[in-house]
Chains A and B, each alone.
Chain A
Amino acid sequence: MGLELYLDLLSQPCRAVYIFARCNNIPFEFKRVELMKGQHRTEEFKKVNMLMKVPALRDGSFTLAESVAILMYLARKFKTPDHWYPSDLQKQARVDEYLSWQQAHIRGKGSKLFLSKVLIPLLAGQPLPPEKVESATEELNVVLNQFEEKFLQGKPFIVGNDISLADLVALVELMQPVASGYDLFEERPQLAEWRRRVEEAVGKQLFQEAHEEILNAKNVTADKIAPELREHFKQQLLKQVN
């Protein structure tokens, strides 16, 4: 039994892992875990990750959770090109710095907007009050400014001239609010250019394939969600946006 990656491409961290493995030709078995159907809460999946989250990895008897840990494990095991996680001390630190900061910021605020605009209304059967969506949008813009000013700073990629894990993780996260109908690239030309570069570096076709499902997320109807999960999800998600 070879490497197994447990993924749902609706999830940003899953997309990062998927794109990274595919563009580096890492052989793996794609194990689909459909969050909407509650497949992450089955006894079988708990054996892979008792935290009941995706992405998850299984490599023989070794299991691993958390996308950053998985990405680094893959980079090391399959000796991917240096630029993904540079051996240069300072460049590596920059990647670490971004991957840490992004959790509460780009990931946090991008997710919040997607939840506010798409997922919670879907589960609740009605939209959230517009002020909530507005304030989530504002919060996202604050971190986008920080991203451009502190991390990108007019460079081709976050750590200089080459794509790294930082760029990949950043872009898949930004696609979540985009999928909710908020085109954050529209008035940010520098960011749009960076996006284009990242897509090219991983392969446009692969990038688009990985994002097909999320970009159709607005078309998902409530009946696609397992009924017994609806209330559970709703409560969980409401907590996240408050």
Chain B
Amino acid sequence: MGLELYLDLLSQPCRSIYIFARTNNIPFEFKHVELFKDSVLGKKPAAAAASGAERPRTGPSNSEGAGKISLLKKVPALKDGDFTLAECTAILLYLSRKYNTPDHWYPSDIKKRAQVDEYLSWHHANIRANAPKTMWIKVLIPLFTGQPLPSEKLQEVMEGLSASLKQFEERFLQDKAFIIGSEISLADLVAIVELMQPVGVGCDIFEDRPRLMEWRKRVEEAVGKELFFQAHEMILNIKELSNIQIDPQLKEHLAPVLMKMLK
């Protein structure tokens, strides 16, 4: 039994791991975990089958498997023989080391490496704290609670996200091609998947930010455009989510949590 990656491509951290593994030709079994059970969007990424990976299985077994690895969040999760691992950063670093991926992903130069670490750490409390809220506010809350889209709340979230994006451009990207210089690293990958979340729900944050847009194009090319779009197929079609049947138990469980977020 080889490497298993438990992923749902609706999730940003899952996309970074998926893209990283695929672009580096790391052989793995894609264990599809559907965060929203009975999702009509549970289409299996075509390329996973094409690459020879076992056809992803859905349903309780993957969810349970993932749940054993990762306490609260089921995805992403990694299983490598007896070794299990949660947390996106940890998984990306493990894969880069085990499979000896090209140096630029996590440079051996300690200063460049430190800059990747610095970004990955800052990302959590900033971009990752704000970007996902766009999806919650625009799609999930209306879907789960039946309440209409709270526009003032969205405004607040967009303002927070703008502030983070400003810091991202001024402190991390600056005038460089990529975050740590002339080559793509884990920092860019982790950043881009997060920023695609608002795009998926119709908040195109790249629209008025040419420098960011240029950077995005470079990142897409560096990992492979086809792979990038395939990984983002689900999130870019998220509006279809409004038509899906949400598991009633999940709805009951999440509705109060989401209502709390509205305050």
Q: Majority SS of interface residues in chain A?
A: helix
Interface size of A by CB at 8 A reads 28
Complex interface: chain B residues within 8 A of A72 (CB): 113-114, 117
Give Cα A73 to B110, complex, Å.
7
Known contacts A51-B122, A89-B94: does B117 contact A68 (CB below 8 Å)? yes
* Closest residue of A by beta carbon distance from B116: A69
Give Cα A94 to B110, complex, Å.
21
Complex interface: chain B residues within 8 A of A101 (CB): 86-87
User: Is B88 touching A100 in the complex (CB atoms < 8 A)?
Assistant: yes
Complex interface: chain A residues within 8 A of B125 (CB): 103
**Smallest beta-carbon distance B251→chain A, Å:** 23
Q: Majority SS of interface residues in chain B?
A: helix
**Residue in contact with B98 in the complex, picked from A50, A76, A89, CB distance below 8 Å:** A89
Task: Give residues 52-72 of A contacting B (CB, 8 Å).
Answer: 62, 64-70, 72
User: Is A51 touching B167 in the complex (CB atoms < 8 A)?
Assistant: yes
Give Cα A150 to B41, complex, Å.
32
User: Is B124 touching A96 in the complex (CB atoms < 8 A)?
Assistant: no
Question: Residue-by-residue, is B89-112 near A (CB-CB < 8 Å gives 1, otherwise 0)?
Answer: 111011001100000000000110
User: Is A93 touching B85 in the complex (CB atoms < 8 A)?
Assistant: yes
Give Cα A97 to B87, complex, Å.
6
User: Is B114 touching A69 in the complex (CB atoms < 8 A)?
Assistant: yes
User: Is B89 touching A96 in the complex (CB atoms < 8 A)?
Assistant: yes
Give Cα A96 to B186, complex, Å.
14
User: Is A69 touching B87 in the complex (CB atoms < 8 A)?
Assistant: no
User: Is B170 touching A69 in the complex (CB atoms < 8 A)?
Assistant: no
With an 8 A cutoff between CB atoms, is B226 at the interface?
no
**Smallest beta-carbon distance A69→chain B, Å:** 4
Known contacts A51-B171, A90-B83, A146-B71: does B90 contact A96 (CB below 8 Å)? yes
**Smallest beta-carbon distance A167→chain B, Å:** 16
| A-B residue pairs in contact (CB < 8 Å), sample of 12 | A62-B111, A64-B118, A69-B114, A69-B121, A70-B114, A72-B114, A89-B97, A92-B93, A94-B90, A96-B93, A99-B89, A146-B71
Could you list which residues of chain A lie within 8 angstroms of chain B, going by C-beta atoms? 50-51, 62, 64-70, 72-73, 76-77, 89-90, 92-94, 96-97, 99-101, 103-104, 146, 150
List 5 tightest A-B contacts by C-beta distance, closest first.
Answer: A69-B117, A96-B90, A66-B121, A69-B118, A100-B87
